A = this chain, B = another copy of it.
Amino acid sequence: MSQDSTERSPGDLRNTGLSLKHDREWDYELDRIVAAVEERDASKVGLQFPEGLKRRSAAVTDDLREHLPEDVVVMTSGQPCYGACDLDTFLMRRTDVFVHFGHSPMKESDKIIYVPLFSNVEVTPIVERAVDEQLDPPEDDADVGLVTTAQHMNRFDQMRAFLEDRGYTVHTRRGDDRLTHEGQVLGCNYASADVDADQVLYVGGGKFHPLGLAMEHPEKHVVIADPVNNVVTVADAEQFMKQRYATVHKAMDADTWGVIFCTKIGQGRWETAEEIVAGNDDAYLVTMDEITPDRLTNFPYDAYVNTGCPRITTDDGPQFKQPLLTPGEYEIAIGEKPLDSLSFDTFHGTW
């Protein structure tokens, strides 16, 4: 088992966005947690961190223990966690207070305290560089879309104001009910970038979100302003699209299909999975939470359709022995849709 190897795919989900060069401090909102414990007379507190913040779990637990009655048990989820779609429902159901750190609410619930952990990184300097280096000047094209991730939402108004000061008309929207905020993107949902502008400015860390953004909106000029690594680049999904085409072609030879239904609370598309299996005698439903190459090794199928997280298909796909397709790519592979209908698989709704 060498999953902890350093070999990682370009869009590896495991450390995305949160293993950062830039030093940051987070507000863990411990007061809110302590108040909830008191209010509910809780005896068990569950904490869930995204991968990059799990190393802080000991310090957060220490701080909580200091403020909580001695008989309150604090425990941390050791399940991998890649988003608000990925709640540890086991821990949630078995604790009186359940805290999900690092993501904005996908769906509000009394059972869950979401602590978004906004970044304290300044955004104006990198937005300025992006404007100067990569955006069309307002006199050529005044329309610009603006999107960011949950961590930088606290500075969204600053970004917008800066662009408007420079003479741009800033187009923003809230994508759909999977997203909490106007202008917010998720790894699987870029509906907020679906605005009336040919250029879009993405402000945020990592390569994970811009890659999805560029795949979802290949017609737009997507400029990345990364305030964490202090880099301005232009998103390019070409390599990934080539990879997708190659995978679809390979899957065209498949005699049997495994159709994966993901059991994570916010990653299930039951109707999609059921429909594929109902329509193809050579398709077989397989259910799982984490979708990894190892878990498919013992199954006998020639190719797989992943109805769960689209980013596993896109980013980790090449690590799987058999072709792993999105539902849309599956339709192309079995000849139900033309090859040029290939597009990025996005995820909508909550649960």
> Are A90's CB and B1's CB within 8 A?
no
Within 8 A of B (CB), among A273-302: 274, 277, 281, 284-301
Tell whether A295 pairs with B58 under 8 Å between CB atoms, given A2-B5, A3-B3: no
Within 8 A of B (CB), among A56-110: 56-58, 61, 65, 73-80, 88, 90-91
Q: Which residues of chain B are within 8 angstroms of A300 by Cβ–Cβ distance?
A: 54-58
> Are B287's CB and A319's CB within 8 A?
no
Tell whether A321 pairs with B4 under 8 Å between CB atoms, given A55-B299, A78-B295, A274-B73: yes
Q: Could you list which residues of chain A lie within 8 angstroms of chain B, going by C-beta atoms? A: 1-5, 7, 46, 51-52, 54-58, 61, 65, 73-80, 88, 90-91, 256, 260-261, 263, 274, 277, 281, 284-301, 316, 319, 321
A340 to chain B, nearest CB (A): 31
**When chains A and B are docked, how far (Å) is the Cα of A61 from the Cα of B257?**
13
Tell whether A52 pairs with B4 under 8 Å between CB atoms, given A260-B78, A284-B61, A285-B73: no
> Are A285's CB and B74's CB within 8 A?
yes
> Are B287's CB and A4's CB within 8 A?
no
> Are A1's CB and B292's CB within 8 A?
yes
> Are B76's CB and A293's CB within 8 A?
no
**When chains A and B are docked, how far (Å) is the Cα of A1 from the Cα of B61?**
30
User: Which residue of chain B is the closest to A54 with respect to CB atoms?
Assistant: B298
A311 to chain B, nearest CB (A): 14
> Are B1's CB and A319's CB within 8 A?
yes
Q: Which residues of chain B are within 8 angstroms of A78 by Cβ–Cβ distance?
A: 260, 286-288, 291, 295-296, 299
| Contact of A294 (CB < 8 Å), options: B4, B288, B291 | B4
Q: Which residues of chain B are within 8 angstroms of A7 by Cβ–Cβ distance?
A: 2
**When chains A and B are docked, how far (Å) is the Cα of A292 from the Cα of B80?**
11
> Are B286's CB and A3's CB within 8 A?
no
A72 to chain B, nearest CB (A): 11
**When chains A and B are docked, how far (Å) is the Cα of A263 from the Cα of B79?**
10
| Contact of A298 (CB < 8 Å), options: B52, B288, B293, B316 | B52
User: Which residue of chain B is the closest to A316 with respect to CB atoms?
Assistant: B1
